[in-house]
Amino acid sequence: MRQEAQPEHVIGGRYRLIDRLGSGGFGRVWRARDQVLCVDVAVKEVWLPPTASDAEHAERLVRAAREARNAARLRDHPGIVAVHDVVVEDDVPWIVMRLVEGRSLADHLHTRGPLHPDDVARIAWSLLDALSAAHSVGIAHRDVKPANVMLADGGEVLLTDFGIAVHQADTALTAPGGFIGSLPYLAPERARGQRGNAGSDLFSLGVTLYEATEGFSPFCRDSPPGSLAAILFEPAPPPQRAGRLEPLITGLLEKEPRQRLTTSQALALVSPPPKIAGPAFPDPERPSVEWPAQKLADDPRVDLSSLKGTGDGGKNREQGVHVTVAPEPAAGRAATAEYHRLTVGDRCPGVVARIVSFGVFISLPSGQEGLLHISELRRNFGVREAEEAVSIGDQLHVEIAEIDRRGKIGLKCARSTGARAPGR
């Protein structure tokens, strides 16, 4: 029985494994050292389950060869992670790729929450350009999602993982009527069993951009059948944070492929990103956001009494929060709030982003979202339904009540009102 790979193991007599970078449904990705060229690379170890049949084993080998072949066709594109080599050791394929120093869009959204529309526009343009290159040579990616989008520390946006991509000349690897991929990002036609194509990639891109702006996937439900039904029959909720990107995102999310934006139409709705020096996306360990001083100082629903020095240019650094409020809010000066990693007990102002049957989702200055449960609203505002207490865009002063192992945040009101929200 093959032993699991460990750090310091050398693949193909050349690539020394250093540490694991991540894993997915089809393999593990390692940081490795190319001992010939003396550079670090990423090496993807394709999983071959020990219980797999001979046919499944053969399929994984064919899929790995396909991934390397398709990515190699696009290795010169600046928006696609380049593949350098394929090594088969002990009948297991290893794909050697460029090492991207940075993090995935999925990791960024998990630690920071939704992005500003200007940042999403840069991501959209880069991914559309990469997909256009792939589609022009007959390759459909078939698994566009935040986890397969890399945000490099130097500002690049790259598409990775062509593990289930298909070229127009490739033969099918799945049974008729079956599909593989990530369900919440699947295009309706693929959910109906059709083969992935350029249009289905664009739908998946639309879901990815929606999640990047809104902070959640529009078709993700509690169960796979629920997600599948949402993809096929339910429209995406109207974007609330997309701004100028709304026509792009809604156009990509058309369920009927013939009505969906094409790549050229989508590119016409965004501009090429400007060249930047240094990191394009904020450090997730030190997120920052600007709040208008007028809203902080004058809105009666925002309690600043617990923050020392607010209103006179003072600074407070309690519970990991640093807040500076301009002394003359009427002059339009901004209050800058720099929020470090949130912990239980932190207090901060928040904005009502979504209202659901079981409570409201609050957008926090750190870029994350937290849930204020309906029971908390009932206890503090004396109402039965969330809509009776708050509206989208309202500001509330909240406290972090819990953060579970998946990073989901539970909130409570920072002070009990015993009445309806002020100003309503």
Q: Could you tell me if 240 and 214 are in contact, meaning their C-beta atoms sit under 8 angstroms apart? A: yes
Q: What is the largest CA-CA distance in the chain?
A: 73
From 143, 161, 201, 346, the catalytic residue: 143
Catalytic site includes residue 170: no
For the chain, helix, strand, coil in percent to 5 are 30, 25, 45
Q: Which structure tokens are listed for 138? A: 């007959």
Q: Could you tell me if 421 and 394 are in contact, meaning their C-beta atoms sit under 8 angstroms apart? A: yes
Instruction: Give one DSSP letter per residue of 345-356, joined into a string.
Output: T-EEEEEEEEEE
| 96 alpha-carbon distance from chain centroid | 25
Q: Could you tell me if 149 and 158 are in contact, meaning their C-beta atoms sit under 8 angstroms apart? A: yes
Contacts of 215 (CB under 8 A, 6+ apart): 109, 113, 114, 241, 353, 363, 368, 369
DSSP 3-state of 44: strand
- Pairing type for strands 409-413 and 369-373 reads parallel
Q: How many CA atoms lie within 13 Å of 294's alpha carbon, on the beta-carbon side?
A: 4
Q: How far apart are CA 207 and CA 250, in angstroms?
A: 9
What Cα–Cα distance (Å) separates residue 402 from each residue in 131, 254, 306, 344? Answer: 40, 37, 20, 6
Instruction: Give one DSSP letter per residue of 51-112, joined into a string.
Output: T--HHHHHHHHHHHHHHHHHHHHTTT-TTBPPEEEEEEETTEEEEEEPPP-EEEHHHHHHHH
With tokens 């990616």, the residue in question is 141
Strands of 321-324's sheet, edge to edge? 288-292, 334-339, 321-324, 315-318
Cβ-in-10-Å burial (0-12, 13-18, 19+) of 345 comes to exposed
Q: Catalytic amino acids?
A: 143
